[in-house]
Structure 1
């Protein structure tokens, strides 16, 4: 996040795109509602009527996969009506002419046709955000998990820059992280192209620094992303997989492909706190401790480094992750002993400029937000206040491209996926809580009442959903929350798993899979037999 969670309450216009905030990030969702009560106006962009759409002053229910067209349309209106922040653009940005040229053709009429939204609502949203004193943007995986994910993020950045809503409190471009320490994991170099603090592996001076500190030679070529690893394993090119705190057998697209990759690998090592669906494929499982059994830090979505303190002793033979990793590397011949997580934190600070001033004593209370380069630095609540890391911010003109898989005669509907309030990720934890299972006990698919009528499907009936990658049996939930030819499924469940259906196609830059859009067919099950009322109706009409 460029800004801080507390600043939600300072915004007078809050733009939410691709984030079901009250269910996926309920604390921040609650703050958005608090801001609403204080007078803030809300714009929601989502393919589904999420809970926050009830609070929205403008709700744009877009067709899945059309985010870039929608944002380009907003910028077209802002530029045409002269609502852009000319002073900010002149002083703090570059390449605006390329943006203006690109968005010129994204008229309200054309964008309405692409996205399926009302032109007047589009204009209202553009004016509302552009005229805000403090306009903030919040987004999540609803815009990143696309084959155009990087372009989607660039588009919302363009929108914020165009209106000058960056670098002051209550504004900003604020991605909401999907898990509690995703930010911290990325900060620590759990990416294939960087060391800690996003220091590129290909830079000689960076490589030399880490080789000196660690006393070993290191590769200068970026490695593989998680989807690429599975692809290489499936083709027999990657022999050993070490999966730590991840459950791709439920969470990754095209589960049949994932299972094949895990079976194909010569050796699979899984390190986790529970015997997950992925761990069932492992040759060896290493039991790790939970958050309550170890000391360490988490870095949350607002870049705040916070202490985690051991409350109970490790259960059974489980060990903290850092101890397992240390013993593993010692066994493999790299001998280095750490005596505590605090000692590791000090090493992190010594090699990571953005963490340079952070230690356990300084984060004893509320933690510190990076960048915090020195022991005297207070931490950074707000990014880009006076300047951007590259000097001037760069407008990156982006064209709309359709999703890589679109409906056709065989698979006539769009499936999109997401989360529910009552379950977390792949249910390896929440699936063990009886109360939560009573609230949402099983997988389901939301279908619009008009589509339900066409398919002769009633609420609670069993259906078969099929894509080019597989099929599942699941209960139908008739709901006004989705448009007629769009279906929604939560991805949490191993039975009736949404990711049996989703697409493995990747964004070419980030290598993120297009989990949010795939083409499917939906058929009713009657007495164990499949009935395709949609195709029957289409055949009848063609005659």
Structure 2
């Protein structure tokens, strides 16, 4: 997030796109509702009528995958009505004329046609956004597309156009999908950077880490998760170490994932429970849970916070850092650490954005990076004086279809996401009796008109297929989704949505097209039921 969670309940104008915030990020969702109750304007754009849609001044139930078209159309309206922040554009941005040229074709009529919404609603949303200090919130409904980079760039373009970056109560605020995703990325769990996003292609950076660790380090970009899976299929990777992930539920095209994992010579899985992925492993390393270890988590607004051991690790489980240290010692690297505090000291020494963060300073309250020295109070808002690169660049993005097209064989659109009662692949929440009572199994949301057309009944079990696989799941009839658009939560191993999803990658981020795919749906014949 460019801004801070503490600002949310006092925002003036809020734009939520590609985020079911109240279910996926309920703390921030509650703060958005508090802001609306105080008079904040709310724009919501989503293929489903999520809870926040009921509170919105404008709800845009867009066709799946049309985010870029919507954002370009809003910018067209803003420029046509001269609502842009000309002073901000002149002083802090570049390439504005190129953006202006591109969005001129995205008239309200054209945007309404592509997105499947009323043009007057797009116009109203654009005016609200441009005439107030506005903050944008998005999540994986924006990023997990083959056009995810264009989606994010278009959100940035809109914010820059109206001067809604670098000041309080505005910002571009991506909401992280899990509790320490931000921290993992900060610590270099990406194929192209060391800690603090220091590039592996920078010779001086590489030398700094080589001198600190006393080893020779690679200076080329590695593979992303989908690229690793493909490389296994090609025989280029034979050993894989999976830590705290469950790709047999969470990754697209599970048949493809299973085939790759079974082809490996050796698979190690480090996790707190025996997940669907761990069941395929040659060795499972039992890790301690969050409640059994000390350390830090970094949350979605860049706040580094202490966590503390509440109970001792159960049975033979160990904290992740201990497991990793013991393995690297056995592999011949003799460095040992006495505690996470010692590791944090090394992080601070090697990571400029964490340089001022110590256990002593975050004992009672977390600090937001960048925190560049011991006297720095942390950074609540990014880009206040200037952007890291100087001037921010408008990156014009044309709308393209973001997923495989519908066809005679696969005539319906499936979107997927999370629900309030379960977390990711249910590794933990699937063991909670009360949560399983609320949401016991996989289901698919179907619009009443579509259900009537297809002869589906509530709670009927149906077959859902894509080009990649097929599953069986239960019908839930609801007007939350549009006609001929279906929704599934991806949490469940039974009827797992990711047997259906698409592995097409964003050309820049290499994120797969998880959110939308083409499907067909069928009743299950009596013979199939007899063998179910």
Which TM bucket (shorter chain)? over 0.9
1:78-133 CA-to-partner distances (Å, cap 9, x unmatched) read 0000000111111111110010011110111111111101100000000000001x
Q: Hey, what does 2:24 align to over in structure 1? A: 24
Alignment partners' CA distance in 1, 2:264 and 2:44:
43
Report which stretch shifted further, 520-529 or 100-109: 520-529
Contact 2:42 2:55 in 1 (8 A): yes
Aligned partner of 1:395 in structure 2 is: 394
Q: Secondary structure in 1 aligned to 2:524?
A: strand
Report how far residue 334 of structure 1 moved.
1.2
Distance in 1, Cα, partners of 2:9 & 2:435: 30
User: Does the 8 A contact of 1:45 with 1:59 survive in 2?
Assistant: yes
Is the 8 Å Cα contact of residues 76 and 104 (structure 2) preserved in structure 1?
A: yes
**SS of corresponding position for 1:23:** helix
TM-score (norm 2): 0.99
- Do residues 330 (structure 1) and 333 (structure 2) align? no
Secondary structure of the structure 2 residue equivalent to 1:143 = helix
CA distance in 1, matches of 2:364, 2:497: 41
1:43 aligns with 2:43: yes
Deviation at residue 406 of structure 1 after TM alignment? 1.4
State whether residues 3 and 172 of structure 1, in contact with CA within 8 Å, keep that contact through their aligned partners in structure 2.
Answer: yes
Other-structure match for 1:440:
439
Question: What is the CA distance between 1:529 and its match in structure 2?
Answer: 4.8
Partner of 1:129: 129
Using the alignment, how far apart are the partners of 2:338 and 2:49 within structure 1?
A: 51
2:190 equivalent to 1:191: yes
C-alpha offsets along residues 220-248 of structure 1, whole Å, 9 cap, x if unaligned? 11100011111111222101100000000
CA contact (8 A) 2:65 2:403 kept: no
Query: Which residue of structure 2 aligns with residue 202 of structure 1?
Result: 201
Instruction: Report if the CA contact (8 A) 2:83-2:131 is conserved.
Output: yes
CA distance in 2, matches of 1:404, 1:56: 28
Report the counterpart of residue 55 of structure 1 in structure 2. 55
* Inter-partner Cα distance in structure 1 for 2:527 and 2:380: 58
Q: C-alpha deviations, 1:260-289, integer Å up to 9, x for none?
A: 010001100000000000000000000000
| Deviation, structure 1 residue 526 | 4.1
Q: Do the aligned residues in 2 keep the contact of 1:406 with 1:414 (CA within 8 Å)? A: no
Instruction: Confirm whether residue 227 of structure 1 aligns to residue 226 of structure 2.
Output: yes
The aligned counterpart of 2:423 is 424
Farther-moved stretch of structure 1 (7-16 vs 299-308): 7-16
Contact 1:9/1:170 (8 A) holds in 2: no
Structure 2 counterpart of 1:114: 114
Q: Identify the residue that residue 244 of structure 1 maps to in structure 2.
A: 243
Question: Aligned to 2:270, what secondary structure does the other structure show?
Answer: strand
The number of equivalent residue pairs is 529
Instruction: Find the aligned partners of 2:27 and 2:251 in 1 and give their Cα distance.
Output: 26
Structure-1 separation of matches of 2:233 and 2:42: 45
1:180-329 equivalences in 2 (<5 Å): 180-329=179-328
CA deviation map 1:415-435 (0-9, x unaligned): 000000000000000000000
Rounded to whole Å, the distance in 2 between the matches of 1:361 and 1:456 is 63
Cα distance in structure 1, aligned partners of 2:125 and 2:458: 34
Q: Give 1:179 shift.
A: 0.2
In 2, Cα distance between equivalents of 1:103 and 1:167: 24
Partner of 1:194: helix, strand, or coil? Answer: coil
Q: C-alpha separation between the residues in 2 aligned to 1:508 and 1:384?
A: 27
Gaps of 5+ in 2: none
The CA RMSD measured in Å over matched residues stands at 0.8
Distance in 2 between residues matched to 1:374 and 1:30, nearest whole Å: 34
Deviation of 1:453 (Å): 1.0
1:524 Cα deviation from its structure 2 partner: 1.2
1:319 and 1:529 map into 2 onto residues whose CA distance is 46
How far apart, in 2, do the equivalents of 1:123 and 1:485 lie?
A: 26
**Mean CA deviation greater in 520-529 or 231-240:** 520-529
3-state DSSP class of the match of 1:49? Answer: coil
Secondary structure, counterpart of 2:22 in structure 1: helix
After superposition, the C-alpha distances for 1:282-330 in whole angstroms (9 at most, x for unaligned) are: 0000000001111100000000000010111110110100000001111
